Amino acid sequence: MTLELEQQIKSAGGWLKKYRHQASSTGCQMRFNLFLPPQANEGNVPVLYWLSGLTCNEDNFMQKAGAHRLAAELGIALVAPDTSPRGDAGKDAQGRDIMDADRYDLGQGAGFYVNATEPSWSAHYQMYQYIVDELPALLAEHFPITDRKAIAGHSMGGHGAISIALKNPDQYASVSAFSPITNPSRVPWGETALTTYLGTDKTQWQQYDSVELLNRITDPTGYPHLLVDQGLADEFLEEQLKPQQLETAARQSDYPLTLRRHPGYDHSYYFIASFIDDHLHFHAHHLFDDPSDA
């Protein structure tokens, strides 16, 4: 599979590299950012996937979170894919238009990390397959990374990170999220996206709903530990995020969740930048066989 390096930038002793490639899962050009710490010059390193939120792309986390310095110290690669299929100027390799919507919470920039089944969207909106299968295989083929990986995200990306980890517990050493959409089948953002991409049968929505997935777990042994940070001044807290639903479901299944609430913090990257070091240390503890090595 051909990778095109668009830009590389020296950062914190490592390299931020921006790539594009033709993805088979989404049927179009996809972009991702990769930060390789200096330890990657000497051998393979574990990797943390970051899934961004609504309206974001592959650049937001790398530019705003301030994660490179500590990732370089810990020896962890960071991968930030785009949030949806966009292709080249909104078109796929055959020159066909990639579906979009005239609203910020649907379409390009809002892929919601599901495999769309509705005919208008299914040709390209296969973000779950891209994140879980295609992108990791691509990275393993071309870059000095180990098979140890963790996953994290923000808002829509927090929903994606948690639901993906719960569906694939053997693939991820740990999972974390900032301000995640925890119960998408019961909030406006999720209802809009899941109806559009999956149809009106709500039983199909449950496979991507973190609360519903937690409710199915009878024995959490072997599942990745989960860290969630939530700002209490978040304007979307009550209507869209509902962390209390995640907390209740985790308590009932005895799932290893740490949910931290922070007075005064909102939904922005200022919040993420304030606590990203905690998340990197959390993932390092689980990614390295001997946490003291981190």
Q: Per-residue pLDDT for 204 more than 70?
A: yes
Q: Per-residue pLDDT for 294 more than 50?
A: no
- Give the pLDDT of residue 55: 97
Is the pTM higher than 0.75? The answer reads: yes
Catalytic residues: 155, 234, 267
- Give the pLDDT of residue 291: 43
CA angle 126, 131, 137 (to 5 degrees): 115
Helical segments of 30-167, H only: 60-64, 68-74, 119-122, 127-129, 135-142, 156-167
Domains of the chain as residue ranges with CATH: 3-287 (3.40.50.1820)
pLDDT level of residue 105 (50, 70, 90 thresholds): very high
Q: For residues 225 and 228, give the distance between their C-alpha atoms in angstroms, rounded to a whole number.
A: 10
Q: Per-residue pLDDT for 290 more than 70?
A: no
- Give the pLDDT of residue 1: 58
Q: For residues 149 and 161, give the distance between their C-alpha atoms in angstroms, rounded to a whole number.
A: 12
Mean pLDDT of the residues in the chain = 96
- Give the pLDDT of residue 289: 65
Q: What percent of the chain has pLDDT above 90? A: 97
Residue-wise pLDDT tens digits, 165-203: 999 999 999 999 999 999 999 999 999 999 999 999 999
- Give the pLDDT of residue 293: 42
Residue reference for tokens 């495999």: 115
Residue-wise pLDDT tens digits, 230-273: 999 999 999 999 999 999 999 999 999 999 999 999 999 999 99
